[in-house]
Amino acid sequence: MSANREHFSSRLGFILAAAGSAVGIGNLVGFPVNAAKNGGGAFLLMYAIFVVVICIPVMIAEMAVGRKTAKNPVGAYAQLSDNDSKWRLAGLLSVITPFMIAIFYTVLTVWILVYLVLSVSGNLDYMASASAFGDVISSPYLFVSMIVVAALVRFILVSGVKAGIERAAKVMMPALFVMLILLVIFVLTLDNAFAGVEFYLIPDIDKLTPKVISNALSQAFFSLSLGMGILITYGSYISKETDIAGSAKLVAITDTSVAFIAGLMVLPAIFSFNPSINPSELSDSGVSLIFSYLPKIFLALETSVGYFFASTIAVIFFLLVFFAALTSLVSIIEVPVAYLIDEKKQTRKKALNTMFLWAGLLALLTTLSAGMVDYLTSLTSYGGKSKSLFDVIYDMFYDTILPLNGLLICLFVSYRWKSQNLNEELSIGNPEFSKTFLAKYTHVALGTFVPVIVAVIFIDTVARIYF
């Protein structure tokens, strides 16, 4: 273990940073969109089951591997497998995945910054109009926005994990929570909102198709920042006194609560603004759904509390979403940066420069693929659909490789590193751990049904997307 590796200042610091990584666009945009297009309650039910049954054990495993080795994913897989090149490759996949996810995540963060600026300039009417989203994703301001995002991410990352991320998350998390609750209360007072609540909370079991199940799994992995080396990397910065299992539970609860509340804000709003909507119309929804409904909520707020107050709330809201996106983006980029520092012996500065050059270039192309450059917008086609560069990266890394990485970590921990070693590591910060139900559950789940479920969903997803 490297003696001078930076550490989080406390257990709380670690939990905040891990939650800061977990809570982001996935919760506030991805979750409500997925819930809307996948039958509401059916999706919510599957999502909740996956968080408890699959994600918590996987999260514990990733954190433990990280802390045990105090290394980036490649170093960690290599160390615990006596440098077995197959497992090193699995580690490498856990570094490439966040790099690619950083690309489309940057694009979304850049859009959010543009919405923030629009809200600051008091443009609620325009933001709520049908053409706004299309304008934003092909606006030249995106380039300025991208430079600002890159500069901010770099600034946070240069100062290192501990200083930068902990501080941001400490303020942002509670503020975001309060803001979401207030908006939910407001939305629930709107006409017809309860049709949305019903759609969201009452599962219609007939809607549980393989696609809904697969989306729920990918979304749960994405939202909890699993399957891409983040928690291995963050785990490498925690001290031995930290209770890993307890921290994992708290992170999962925080992240899932934020997603749940975001859904409770967005779905009732959709039903309130379209009282005659047939829910099946939502099945093709994409992120544009959120970008058009959020401003509508603020516009409705304006009729109750006046323009100034509604605009101020909109600004604070987009600011919080933007911060949430930044803390997640920082965590995603930290993985390849840690890899370059540990394995390629680069300085932190140099690693950041390498990352920014490549990620920036790809993010630029991906931004252009959302509608500005035809060649990139209809780059290819598979599964009977035309796909942009954005779609290609999203399909491959969000829907497909995330669960694959989850599968690999289960197999690795259970059959290569071995469950006893996992248990030992988890008992360091919590001597009573091995007697708990969670310990026994984690042991059995990771070695048996979790990899089986994940493998089946992975195969189904590949077949559905690509063939």
Residue 414 binds to ligand PHE (criterion: CB under 6 A):
no
Place of tokens 């600004």: 315
Smallest Cα–Cα separation from 26: which of 272, 324, 358? 324
205-213, 225-233, 298-306, 445-453 -> range binding ligand PHE (CB under 6 A): 225-233
> What single-letter amino acid sits at 326?
L
Site for ligand PHE in 100-159 (CB under 6 A): 101
The CA distances from residue 242 to 61, 134, 181, 236, 247, in Å, are 14, 46, 30, 12, 8
Q: What is d(CA 136, CA 116) in angstroms, rounded to the nearest whole number?
A: 12
Residue nearer to ligand PHE on the CB measure, 328 or 414? 328
Residue nearer to ligand PHE on the CB measure, 251 or 351? 251
73-81, 206-214, 217-225, 265-273 -> range binding ligand PHE (CB under 6 A): 217-225
Residue 225 binds to ligand PHE (criterion: CB under 6 A):
yes
Contact 204, 283 (CB under 8 A): no
Q: Which long-range contacts (CB under 8 A, 24 or more apart) does 297-300 make?
A: 297/183, 297/186, 297/187, 297/265, 297/269, 298/119, 298/124, 298/127, 298/128, 299/124, 299/125, 299/128, 300/186, 300/190, 300/269, 300/272, 300/273
Instruction: Report the interhelical angle of 56-69 vs 437-447 (nearest 10°).
Output: 90
Site for ligand PHE in 59-88 (CB under 6 A): none
Binder to ligand PHE among 8, 11, 20, 24 (CB under 6 A)? Answer: 24
Q: What is d(CA 426, CA 7) in angstroms, rounded to the nearest whole number?
A: 18
Contact 218, 34 (CB under 8 A): no
Residue nearer to ligand PHE on the CB measure, 27 or 367? 27
- State the burial class of residue 327 (Cβ atoms within 10 Å of its Cβ: 0-12, 13-18, 19+): buried
Residue nearer to ligand PHE on the CB measure, 46 or 208? 46
Binder to ligand PHE among 169, 228, 266, 404 (CB under 6 A)? Answer: 228
Binder to ligand PHE among 115, 200, 222, 260 (CB under 6 A)? Answer: 222
Site residue total, ligand PHE (CB under 6 A):
16
Binder to ligand PHE among 93, 172, 230, 252 (CB under 6 A)? Answer: 230
- State the burial class of residue 48 (Cβ atoms within 10 Å of its Cβ: 0-12, 13-18, 19+): middle
Read off the tokens for 49: 């089951």
Q: What is d(CA 254, CA 268) in angstroms, rounded to the nearest whole number?
A: 22
Residue nearer to ligand PHE on the CB measure, 174 or 306? 174
Residue 366 binds to ligand PHE (criterion: CB under 6 A):
no
Which residues, in sequence order, are CB contacts of 65 under 8 Å at separation 6+? Answer: 76, 77, 80, 232, 235, 409, 412, 413, 417
4-12, 17-25, 234-242, 353-361 -> range binding ligand PHE (CB under 6 A): 17-25
Residue 165 binds to ligand PHE (criterion: CB under 6 A):
no
Residue nearest to ligand PHE (CB): 26
Site for ligand PHE in 426-455 (CB under 6 A): none
CB of 395 to ligand PHE, least distance (A): 16
CB of 60 to ligand PHE, least distance (A): 17
Residue 22 binds to ligand PHE (criterion: CB under 6 A):
yes
Smallest Cα–Cα separation from 73: which of 230, 237, 226, 247? 230
Mark 290-329 with x for binding to ligand PHE (rule: CB under 6 A) and - for no binding.
--------------------------------------x-
Binder to ligand PHE among 21, 106, 256, 388 (CB under 6 A)? Answer: 21
Residue 394 binds to ligand PHE (criterion: CB under 6 A):
no
Place of tokens 């804000």: 265
Residue nearer to ligand PHE on the CB measure, 103 or 376? 103
Return residues touching ligand PHE (CB under 6 A).
21-22, 24-27, 98, 101, 222-223, 225, 228, 230, 328, 331-332
